[in-house]
Amino acid sequence: MALLQIAEPGESAAPHQHKLAVGIDLGTTNSLVATVRSGLAVVLNDELGRPLLPSVVHYEADGRNEVGYEAQARQALDPRNTIGSVKRFMGRGLHDITHRESMPYEFESSAEAPGMVRLRTAGGVKSPVEVSADILRTLRLRAEVALGGQLVGAVITVPAYFDDAQRQATKDAAKLAGIPVLRLINEPTAAAIAYGLDNAAEGVYAVYDLGGGTFDISVLNLSKGVFEVLSTGGDSALGGDDFDQRIFCWILEAAKLLPLSVEDARLLLTRAREAKEYLTYHGVAPVTTRLNSGEVVDLELTTETFGEISQTLVAKTLQPVKKALRDAGLTVFDVKGVVMVGGATRMPQVQHAVGEFFKQDPLNNLDPDKVVALGAAMQANLLAGNRAPGDDWLLLDVIPLSLGLETMGGLVEKIIPRNSTIPAARAQEFTTFRDGQTALAVHVVQGERELVSDCRSLARFELRGIPPMVAGAARIRVTFQIDADGLLSVAAREQTSGVEASVTVKPSYGLSDDEIAGMLKDSLAHTKDDAFRRALKEAQVEAQRLIDAVQSAIKSDGELLSAEQRTRVEAAIIKLQTAALSESRRHLTLAMDDLEAETKDFAARRMDKSIRRALAGKSIHQLEAAGNPSQTQVSKGEAE
């Protein structure tokens, strides 16, 4: 007999309630919103059936704004008040924006938030967070109209290399748009979810993401419902625009054109992009146009020619792929599937090169423009509580760059290395450098280099109230915690007294993709140099520690030295101080050895003095008891 689910009139039965959640791909060029319907992830279209929303906002003087295709149509007519590619400015300071002179926008900084760039428009001064919020608000309204109700939350995707500030700025934009954020996830990870769950296959997947301006590679493992990101990599200065540029140069050479005006150059770049897209599905692309100068360009670009002129670009994408596999400890034969993400992956030469490298055909059964939003929708559906049989799966992402602290000598002590799975929590103990130190400055940094000056500062705070102790006696435990969104908090606690301090790392601006990629490249190029500089810094810190210890000993027990001995010791100190200023670790080590040799007898006399002071007034019985702990314990027990 079948059982009916009974519910009060007008109320849905609990097992049949479906919470409205969406996944949002907030892109540089276009944005999308997707949801799960009847167990399937689908992209939600606008009223005209268009799935994409151009990430462009136009601001009017009367306070109105236009978002999407309407704003895109105004870009050429009113570029100053039409903001595009705002994602590049998220979490960025004014001094982080390069080539401002080539952009049509008017930038300014804010006294209230000096680290966040602003853009002056006819509708007022706008921050990147506000512009992004207008885009997200449009997507939210589209979703609520299509789903017929208010959203309970959204999963929003971000580039894998977004840092704390950029992720926080994305969350702030969503809050301003009235969207509760269930979680932020990395774009390649979202794509892997879409493919992994759609194909119901376990194993290792490589996500090859070639967009208009950047390239990312992520290696993930799907095992028993757990998505674990093993490694990430990429090149933030490589994308589909570079392929357009190669065709543009080919046109100039083939047509033997004279130096062009700016207008003609833009026209030819547009024709180059059109030819690239046409070659995706055809063997020959016509390149025909009349320039403002009156010259006529009439050429044909074949797939073979395009492959030849872009061969180095395709090969350039494979270098980060090789490194990501090495970081994950895998070979191409361990990869079960290759997920293609981004419109630029449609190019035949890219498809061929990826297939040849991985010894298999890439996965193309999902639209590369939509796959990120689809994966985000699946994650949102799960987090909202819309679980179905077989939906028990877990997502484990990673951080793109190492996080650590500054230690003496300007060195970086890495606490959480890059490619660590998040959420994560790591702790490490530190101590004081000088006698009587009652405060400790904690400097949180991000990067792969050995010196703080070569890394990016994230936050600073102070731990005060440390009990005065001799150098090295205090035990200060510093804990790093990264949540599922990749946002960091740091806490420091002195173990003896219990005093503590903490900070939630929300820097006013963040790293650009170029800076992150540059950090990774610099860390590889300067590995040997960094190792030498770190060893030198450590030796300098140790030398200063030795000098402080000897000077403190002379101050308290200087009478144990003869005038001649004291002169030799002080000369050895001056020699070590001079060596510490040099760049020679050998000279520094020899000077430390000389000082230790000159103070060897002095240390022995101090030890004898300390022992005599400790034994003064003690009886033979007390000394024997002190030398036999078990006897002392028995005596204590008998006394009780």
The pLDDT of residue 29: 78
For the stretch 241-276, pLDDT in tens is 789 889 989 998 888 877 777 668 767 877 888 899
**Is residue 499 predicted with pLDDT exceeding 70?**
yes
- In angstroms, rounded to a whole number, what is the distance separating the alpha carbons of residues 271 and 228? 42
The pLDDT of residue 322: 93
For the stretch 592-611, pLDDT in tens is 888 888 888 888 888 888 77
200-365 has the same fold as 15-179: yes
For the stretch 422-478, pLDDT in tens is 777 888 888 877 788 888 788 888 777 778 777 777 777 778 888 888 887 888 888
**Is residue 310 predicted with pLDDT exceeding 90?**
yes
| pLDDT-above-90 percentage for the chain | 20
Residue 498 three-state SS:
coil
**Is residue 309 predicted with pLDDT exceeding 90?**
yes
Residue 211 tokens read as 């967009």
The confidence band for 529, taking pLDDT boundaries of 50, 70 and 90, is: low
- Per the model's pLDDT, the better-predicted residue between 353 and 610 turns out to be 353
405 strand-pairing partners = 413, 444
- In angstroms, rounded to a whole number, what is the distance separating the alpha carbons of residues 223 and 305? 42
Q: pLDDT averaged over the chain?
A: 80
Mean pLDDT score, 398-403: 76
**Is residue 12 predicted with pLDDT exceeding 50?**
no
| CATH number listed for the domain at residues 15-179 | 3.30.420.40
> Residues of 457-496 as b/e, b for ≥16 C-beta within 10 angstroms?
ebbebebeebeebebeebebebbbbbbbbbbbbbbbbbee
Length of the chain measured in residues: 640
- In angstroms, rounded to a whole number, what is the distance separating the alpha carbons of residues 477 and 474? 10
- Per the model's pLDDT, the better-predicted residue between 162 and 332 turns out to be 332
> 300 in the Ramachandran plot: left (φ > 0), alpha (ψ -120 to 50) or beta?
beta
Describe the crossing of helices 311-328 and 348-358 by its angle, rounded to 10 degrees: 30
- Backbone torsions φ then ψ of 363, nearest 5 degrees: -80, 120
Alpha carbon 550 to its chain centroid, in Å, reads: 44
The pLDDT of residue 1: 34
Mean pLDDT score, 274-300: 88
The pLDDT of residue 358: 95
Instruction: Provide the CATH topology of domain 200-365.
Output: Nucleotidyltransferase; domain 5 (3.30.420)
- In angstroms, rounded to a whole number, what is the distance separating the alpha carbons of residues 214 and 231? 17
The confidence band for 512, taking pLDDT boundaries of 50, 70 and 90, is: very low
Residues belonging to the active site = 25, 87, 187, 209
Element (H, E) at 434: none
Cis peptide before 423 (omega within 30 of 0): yes
- Per the model's pLDDT, the better-predicted residue between 104 and 344 turns out to be 344
- Per the model's pLDDT, the better-predicted residue between 516 and 344 turns out to be 344
| pLDDT-above-70 percentage for the chain | 81
234 with 186: CB under 8 angstroms? no
The pLDDT of residue 35: 95
The domain spans of the chain are 15-179, 200-365, 399-525, 537-615
The confidence band for 127, taking pLDDT boundaries of 50, 70 and 90, is: confident
Instruction: Provide the CATH topology of domain 537-615.
Output: Substrate Binding Domain Of Dnak; Chain:A; Domain 2 (1.20.1270)
| CATH number listed for the domain at residues 399-525 | 2.60.34.10
- In angstroms, rounded to a whole number, what is the distance separating the alpha carbons of residues 449 and 400? 14
